[in-house]
């Protein structure tokens, strides 16, 4: 019995989590591009950025906060102006 409860809790929290994932995209949160390479430390607002054009690996579009929090990326040197203008809104 206890096991069934645990499983249903796990399923419940999973469905809540996936709903939140969807919500993240609905909120139209900023998405950025990263080069899916171990060497890469930056994220980019523009897919046609000259720095990301040098990417030898796959270019992935992800949420800005994921790029920062999960991948530990910092903004591309060519795009710092984009960063500062969006920050002033907060
Ligand atoms: Zn860039």
Ligand 1 mean position, distance from CA 15 (Å) = 35
Ligand 1 mean position, distance from CA 17 (Å) = 31
Ligand 1 mean position, distance from CA 13 (Å) = 36
Ligand 1 mean position, distance from CA 37 (Å) = 15
pLDDT tier at 21 (50, 70, 90 boundaries)? low
pLDDT tier at 2 (50, 70, 90 boundaries)? confident
Strands 59-63 and 31-35, bridge-based pairing: antiparallel
pLDDT tier at 18 (50, 70, 90 boundaries)? low
Q: Is the pLDDT of residue 15 over 80?
A: no
What domain range is 85 assigned to?
2-89
Question: HSE of 38 in the Cβ direction (CA atoms, 13 Å)?
Answer: 0
Ligand 1 mean position, distance from CA 90 (Å) = 22
Ligand 1 mean position, distance from CA 31 (Å) = 13
Number of domains in the chain: 1
Cβ atoms within 10 A of the Cβ of 24, count? 14
pLDDT tens, residue by residue, 29-78: 899 999 999 899 999 999 999 999 999 999 999 999 999 999 999 999 99
The two structure tokens encoding residue 85: 């203008």
Ligand 1 mean position, distance from CA 43 (Å) = 7
> What is the 8-class DSSP label of residue 39?
T
What's the mean pLDDT in 84-89? Answer: 62
pLDDT for res 8: 73
């Amino acid at each position: 019995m206890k096991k069934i409860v645990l499983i249903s809790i796990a399923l419940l929290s999973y469905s809540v989590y996936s709903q939140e994932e969807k919500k993240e995209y609905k909120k139209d949160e900023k998405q950025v591009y990263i080069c899916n390479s171990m060497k890469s430390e930056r994220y980019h607002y523009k897919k046609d950025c000259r720095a990301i054009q040098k990417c030898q690996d796959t270019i992935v579009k992800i949420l800005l906060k994921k790029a920062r929090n999960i991948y530990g990326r910092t903004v591309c040197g060519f795009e710092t102006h984009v960063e500062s203008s969006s920050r002033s809104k907060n």
